[in-house]
Every structure is written in C-alpha cells, then in structure tokens.
Structure 1
Amino acid sequence: MSQIVLLRALHWSSSIATALRRTTSVHRLHQYQNHYSYSTLSTSSNEILVRENNTIDTVDVKTPLFSESVKEGTIRLLKKVGDKVSADETIAEIETDKAALNINAPQAGTIEIFLVADGDNVTANTHIAKLNTNNDVKPVSENKKALSIEKIDAEKVKHTLDESIDKVNIEQTKEKSSTSFISSKPSHILTSVAGSKLDTSAPQNLTTSTKQQVSEARSETRVKMSKMRIRIAERLKQAQNTCAMLTTFNEIDMSNIIEFRKKYADQFFKRHKIKLGFMSAFIKASACALVDNPIVNAIIDENEIVYRHYIDISVAVASSKGLVVPVLRNVEKMNYADIERAINEFGEKAKNNSLAIEDMDGGTFTISNGGVFGSLFGTPIINPPQSAILGMHGIFDRPVTSNGKIEIRPMMYVALTYDHRILDGRDAVLFLRKIKQYVEDSRTIFLDI
C-alpha cells in the first residue's frame, strides 16, 4: 500500500514539474515578444531621421523649348527613380513629329522622382523630374526599402514566436491523435499507400505536345506608331493628294568625278580634316542648276507663285527614328569643303538623335540618296511645299557608247520628281540636264556655261 502511495506522489510531482517548465517557456516567449515589440517601435524614429535628412537641395528638370511649329511631344524615360546621373547626361527623350529631343540632367545627382509617366504627352518648359544633388543621402526609395525590410523581418519573427507557442500547447494532443489514427488504419491500406507510385507518363506527353503547339503557333505583334512616323505618313499622303507629281530620268557618267575624287582626296583631307564624297558634288551642282532655273526653287501659295532668292537644300538622312531631312542653308555661297563639313555634322547628330527641330525647318529643294543602300532605280516623293526632289541611285558599271565605241563606265541613274502644277516638262528636263552637266564636268561651274 505504501508503495502505491509513493508511486502516485512521484507521478504528481513529475506532472507539476512539466507544467512549470511549459509555463516558464511560454513566459519566456512572451518576454521575447515584448522585447521585440519594443524594438519595432523604434522604426518610427528611423522614419523621422530619414525625413530630417531628406531636407536637401533638389533641382527641377524641365523640357526644352519647342519651335513654333511643334506643340507637344511624347516623352520616353531612359532612367529610373534612384539612378545616379552626371551633369548633361540624357535622362529622357521627347519624340515630336519632326525630331527626337534629348532632356539632359542640369547637374550631377540622383533622380528623386519623376513627375510624368513614360509615354505621356508633354509641352515645352514642363517639369518632368526632381534631381537630388546631395550624393551623401540615399534616395528616398532606398530608405523606404530598408524600412520595409525591417518591418517584414519583425513580422516574420513575431509569426515564428506565435507558431512556437501554439506548438507547445498542442504538442501532446497531436501525439495522442496521431497514435490513435495510425492504430485505427488497417495494415493492408497502409501498405498499399506506402508502396504506390504515381504514373506521370500521360502529363509529360501532354506538356510536350503543348510546347510544340506554342512553338508552331502563328502570331503577330502590334506596335504603336511613333509621332515622327505618323507625321511622315501624313506628309507623304499630303504630297500625293496635293501635288501633280511627274518624274523625269537621266543617267550620269561618274568617271570624271571618281577620278577627281581619287586625285584630290588626300590633299582635301589634310587641308580640311574631312573626307571628300560624292554628295558635295551633287549638292553644289543642284545649287548652280537652281540659280539657272529659279522656277524649280519656287513654291505655290494658294493662287500665287513665291520665288525664293536663297537656296536651302534638304538632304534626306536615314536615322534609327525614321527619315529626317536636315537643311543646308545658303548653299549657293558654299564650296565643297563647307558642304562636306555640314553633311558630316548632320550625320553625327542623326546617329546620336540630337538633331534640333531648327535643323530641319524650311528647305527649298531636296536630295535623296538611295544609292548608299544599293538602289538602282526609283521615283522619290516631293517634300511639300517644295516643288521638286532629286533622287540619286547606286553607281554600277554598264556598257555605254562613247565616240562610237562601246565602253564600260561607272553610271548612275538620277530621277527628278516635280510638281507639274508649277513646272512644265521642259523646265524639269533642262534642270536635270544641268545637274548632269555640272557633275560630269565640274569645270563648267566655274566657267558659268
């Protein structure tokens, strides 16, 4: 009897000790919770410090001034919030119907915020961003990111502690229920479940066939037209609907100009630090022909013909954004070196997308050189409100007759598209023959014949 009493006393003492241990564990976990909840309160003080440190100088970034013919443009953001930029670094680009304009950072710093979204239409002198010029302070986005990470970590730890408390409370109940569940299951059912395998052959075949269908599917992609592309389409259709276009053709023997270029190319480069090309010969020849035939340089304005006493030649240049036509001003006063230098400058600007709208305003005559792409023949479209356009093409060796003999010569086809409302066929043919004469023998330019 005494042994039974002693066993009951030992069992009672062990139960009390177990309960005390659990109570102590729960109390300790609550202490950890209280301690961590105290640490999470300090995040508000961190936010106050961030706000105090963010009282720094900011610089506004604005869009540049547009020309009178341009009302608005579509902005494309090239940087993100938090990016560090240097002075004069391009952070955004505005695409207008005539050119792409770069927006550069006025100072070095960090982009704090964008006031416009990518693809928005903006006007001149619009605030688009704020630039943080203090390099010692992190961007606001980084501070917010650090605070959010700290809060997330706090929530994770709190969630882990709660799970630990629940685990302590239900530990014994889980053990009892699992023991009774296993004992209640028949042995043959447990064996079949443990020994079964999933047959995945059918889903694998289905996945493979689906991939083949996706790879073999016919698809299409829609891309929104840029403002420049839309404007080009409108002007080309305007020319087709307005002008009575007609094209006359001729061919030019390039033998003399090729020999002239080979003979003086090195001296020209040493003197002017630029290469001598064929475009300068055609532009100068066109300017002289326009002086001889002023009607080609004129335009129609309602019921009047406007004669321009200056020659501004537009040179069509292909760029990544589309076809652009920078204008060479007062070409009648320029020599070969001046023309080549201007062409080189416009070419660099077109590659860098830095052509200004002022570079493409105006123009009394246009030259398009499809020969750089290997074009053999073509009919260019007039650039309104101009009255004519010259199309150059590739240089190819062809058999031609010269002094009663058949010879192989480097030849180029040229095409002149003109507005028949203002130009008669005679004027157009004589004008193109003048260009042919001046290119084949440039000495006639100086002789004025």
Structure 2
Amino acid sequence: MGESITDGTLAAFLKKPGDRVEIDEPIAQVETDKVTIDVASPEAGIIREFIAKEGDTVEPGTKVAIILKSAEGAAAPPKKAPEEAVSQPPPVAEKEKRKDETAPVIEKPKPASPPPQPSRTSPSEPQLPPKDRERRVPMTRLRKRVATRLKDSQNTFALLTTFNEVDMTNLMKLRSEYKDAFLEKHGVKLGLMSGFVKAAVSGLQNQPIINAVIDGDDIIYRDYIDISIAVGTPKGLVVPVIRNAEKMNFAEIEKEINSLAKKAVNGTISIDEMAGGSFTISNGGVYGSLLSTPIINPPQSAILGMHSIVSRPMVVGGNIVPRPMMYIALTYDHRLIDGREAVFFLRRIKDVVEDPRRLLLDI
C-alpha cells in the first residue's frame, strides 16, 4: 500500500465466489484515506470464498479470500446453500403464514390512533419530512480524510483571503494564435492553467515566504516549487503535485497536468504523486464559480483560487470596453504571511497573466 498507509476499508469485491481469476487480476478494491487500491490475485484459479466482508477495515497482509488453484471443490459451496435453503425456509414460511393470519386482527385498531396526532402539533412547529424519504450513506474514507484535513486547516491557520481581478484578453489571445502550432509540436493542447502555473512560480520566486511553512518555532523556506493542482473526482477531491514546476516550460506543465488529471479521474493515481506540494492552485471556474475563498491545503501556507471568465465592462484608455475578466483569490496563513506579501504576490499573478511577455523578459 505504501509507507503512509496503515489500513483501509474493503470497498467492494469485483468477483464472486466460483469466478475464475488470473494472476494479478483485481478481485477487490480497498479504499484508503487518499486513493482506491486494487487487490490483485496472487494466483490463477477459482475463488472459493471471501473471508473478509465489504466495509471491513483491513491492514496489509490481511487475508480476504481463498482461491483454489484447481477447479475441484468450486462447486462445493453452491451445494450447501440449496440444501439449507430447502431445509430451513419451510418452517419459517409456515410461521410467517400463521403470524399473517392473526396480524390483521391485532393491527386493525392501530390506524384509528394516528388522526389525533396532527391536532397536537401547533402551527409554529415545523413539519419534518418522513424518514422514509431520507437515505443514510456512510462517508468514504477519502471524504472523511478531506473533511478532517480541511477542518484542521481552519483550526490551525489564521486564514485570510485577498482578492484581485485579471484581464484575460492577452493570455486568451496568445492561446488562440498559437494553439495549433503548440499542439502540432508538443502533442498537447495549450490551456490557461499552464499560464497560471508559470505566473504562480514567478510570484513564489518573488515572494518566497508564501512558499515557506511554519514548523514549530521555525520557518522552513523551500528552494523548490511543487505546485499542487486540486482535481475534483467522482470519489472526492484529490491534489496531484507537479514537481519542480520552476524548471518546466508551458508544454511540460500541460503534459503533466493532463497525465495527472486523467489518473485522478480514473482512480489510478498513486500516493507518491499526491505527496508533498508547497503551493496549491484550485480552479473553481471549470464549474462556473464566480468567487470563492479557498481553504489552505495543510501543511502548505497559501492557496490560489481561479474562477470563471466573465465578460464585463472595463475602462481601458478612458473608454468602456467589454473584457474577459476573472476574479482570483489568495487564501494565506496570516501567522506567517503579511498582507503586503500576499498582495504583492497576487499583483504578480495579475501582471504576468495580463502580459505573458514579462516571463520572457523576467520583469
């Protein structure tokens, strides 16, 4: 499972007793705090029975199934079930029939009692929906882990959020003009996220305190920039990491983002690919979010929130013109980062995105 995982929940069996399995074929899935891991069969054969049950907490080395290397005995478990089904149900069915015969006599008076209840409720009391219209579903381990980490973030950090807005005209024009040539040379589409990653790298280099973290009474400054990208999946939020983003160009960033995003959605991303990270970017704009206050991903010290692009009237050169605008938000740990550094960082994001040529000239 990996050194950081000590146990998991047996989420589901992918096979049934009596099914044929091959070596390394997945037979079950274990859900951990971070990822869902396939349990592969070590041998080829027939599944005789499952020892563990779905929902059980299992540790590395726990036996979950018995596999017969030969087909002999595979039919044994099914034979027992029919015998028990034939011998046991008749008396149970007879008892149920006898109960049903007497049940109507006892239950008939009961319907007369509910009518008085509505009269007891006063007009001020809320009318709650019946329980049969509610569903109770256990939280997944991933969702519980996310909930714990986010609550710990609120309890530990002195969270403060500052905002700015970005004119996306030039970055969108750059993408429009070079998207075909970029795709032809690098084999990947040019998106907006790589521009924001490069802008974040530039901002973190200018304001290294935002890339740092508090450790006890010390401040740890990082001489590397690992950008975490928040990705929403059907099973919950995961945050894969782009390693050493300061050494990557636009094409390398786009390729890494696409690769990690596909793995995250398919559930094949590894724990190592989500470990660490010194700064997080969350793009709520893909879902249509106009503005939000993102929560820091512990143990990092800040997170950048991107939002949807909306055409708004802006004053440019004394004239009111429509511009594609995006609100950006930086939530930071005020224990470590002052408002001055946070505002300068966000201004650097704004300057680089609005004029990407600054990256070439390093100004």
Normalised TM-score (structure 2): 0.83
2:134 pairs with one of 211, 220, 224 = 220
Equivalent of 2:63 in 121, 124, 127:
127
Counterpart in the other structure of 1:261:
175
Q: Deviations over 1:344-380 (max 9, x none)?
A: 1111111221121111111100000000000001100
Whole-angstrom CA distance in 1 between matches of 2:355 and 2:84: 82
Mapped pair 1:432 → 2:337: no
Contact 2:48 2:65 in 1 (8 A): yes
* 1:416 alignment partner in structure 2: 330
- Deviation, 1:312, is 0.7
TM-align CA RMSD: 2.3
CA distance in 2, matches of 1:230, 1:147: 40
1:127 is paired with a residue of what secondary structure?
coil
Query: C-alpha offsets along residues 148-185 of structure 1, whole Å, 9 cap, x if unaligned?
Result: 769999x9xxxxxxxxxxxxxxxxxxxxxxxxxxxxxx
Does residue 75 (structure 1) correspond to residue 15 (structure 2)? The answer is no
Structure 2 residue identity aligned to 1:274: V
Residue 95 of structure 1, CA deviation: 1.1
Whichever residue aligns with residue 162 of structure 2, its letter is T
Alpha-carbon shift at residue 437 of structure 1 (Å):
1.3
Q: Distance in 2 between matches of 1:387 and 1:237?
A: 15
Residue 107 and residue 401 in structure 1: after superposition, are their counterparts in 2 closer, same or farther (change >3 A)? farther
- The alpha-carbon distance between structure 1 residues 145 and 229, as it changes in their structure 2 partners (threshold 3 A), is closer
1:312 matches 2:236 = no
Q: Is the 8 A contact 1:295 1:423 kept in 2?
A: yes
**3-state SS in 2 of match to 1:246:** strand
Instruction: Give the counterpart of 1:293 among 200, 207, 210.
Output: 207
Is residue 67–residue 358 contact of structure 1 (8 Å, CA) maintained in 2?
no
Report the equivalent of 1:359: 273
Residue 90 (structure 1) aligned to one of 26, 30, 34:
26
SS in 2 for 1:422: coil
What is the CA distance between 1:67 and its match in structure 2?
Answer: 2.5
TM-score using structure 1 length: 0.67
Alpha-carbon contact 2:48-2:66 (below 8 Å) kept: yes
Q: AA paired with 2:276? A: G
| Alignment partner of 2:285 out of 371, 377, 384 | 371
In structure 2, what is the Cα distance between the partners aligned to 1:243 and 1:252? 27
Kept after mapping to 1: 8 A contact 2:46/2:74 = no
Which residues of structure 1 form unaligned runs of 5+?
A: 1-64, 156-202, 207-215
Alpha-carbon displacement from aligned partner over 1:19-58 (angstroms, at most 9, x marks no partner): xxxxxxxxxxxxxxxxxxxxxxxxxxxxxxxxxxxxxxxx
C-alpha distance in 2, partners of 1:336/1:402?
A: 29
Q: What is the CA-CA distance between 1:89 and the residue it aligns to?
A: 3.4
CA, structure 1 residues 345+109, in 2 after alignment: closer, same or farther (shift >3 Å)? farther
Alignment check: 8 A CA contact 1:102 1:354 kept: no
Query: CA separation of 1:222/1:437 partners in 2, compared to 1, >3 Å: closer, same or farther?
Result: same
Identify which of 149, 153, 163 aligns with 1:239: 153
Q: Read off the aligned partner of 1:142 and give its amino acid letter.
A: A
Query: Are residues 1:402 and 2:316 paired?
Result: yes
The answer as to 2:71 corresponding to 1:142 is no
Distance in 2 between the 1:290 and 1:129 partners? 50
Write out aligned runs for 1:53-202 (5 A).
Answer: 65-68=1-4, 70-76=5-11, 77-106=13-42, 108-134=44-70, 137=71, 140-145=73-78
Quick check: 1:87–1:105 contact (8 Å CA) kept in 2?
Answer: yes
Distance of 1:355 and 1:383 partners within structure 2: 18
1:353 aligned partner, one-letter code: G
Total equivalences in the alignment: 322
CA distance in 2, matches of 1:82, 1:238: 46
How far apart are residue 116 of structure 1 and its match? 1.7
Which consecutive residues of structure 2, in runs of 5 or more, have no partner in the other structure? 88-107, 112-128
Matched, 1:347 2:280: no
Could you tell me how far apart the structure 1 residues matched to 2:146 and 2:210 are? 23
**Aligned to 2:251, which of 322, 337, 341?**
337
Instruction: Answer with 82-91 or 268-277: which moved more.
Output: 82-91
Amino acid at match of 1:145: P
Distance in 2 (CA, whole Å) between partners of 1:132 and 1:335 is 53
Counterparts of 2:158 and 2:220 in 1: how far apart (Å)?
A: 18
Are 1:66 and 1:124, in contact at CA under 8 Å, matched by a contact in 2?
A: no
Asked if the contact 1:67/1:357 (under 8 Å) is kept, the reply is no
Q: Which moved more, 1:353-362 or 1:308-317?
A: 353-362
> Equivalent residue of 1:101, what SS?
strand
**Partner AA of 1:128 in structure 2:** V
CA distance in 1, matches of 2:84, 2:319: 92
* Alignment deviations for residues 202-246 of structure 1 (CA, whole Å, 9 cap, x no partner): x9xx9xxxxxxxxx9552121111111111111111111111111
Work out which structure has the larger RCO, using CA pairs closer than 8 Å and 6 or more positions apart in sequence.
Answer: 2
Corresponding residue SS for 2:138: coil
Q: Give CA-to-partner distance per residue, 1:60-113, whole Å, 9 cap, x none.
A: xxxxx3223x22111122222112234543321111112211223345543233
Residues 258-280 of structure 1: CA deviation (Å, up to 9, x unaligned):
11111111122222222211111
Which of 1 and 2 has greater Rg? 1
**Preserved contact between residue 170 and residue 354 of structure 2 (Cα < 8 Å):** yes
User: Counterpart of 1:251?
Assistant: 165
Counterpart of 2:360 in structure 1 is: 446
Question: Compared with structure 1, are the counterparts of its residues 364 and 144 closer, same or farther at alpha carbon in structure 2 (3 Å cutoff)?
Answer: closer
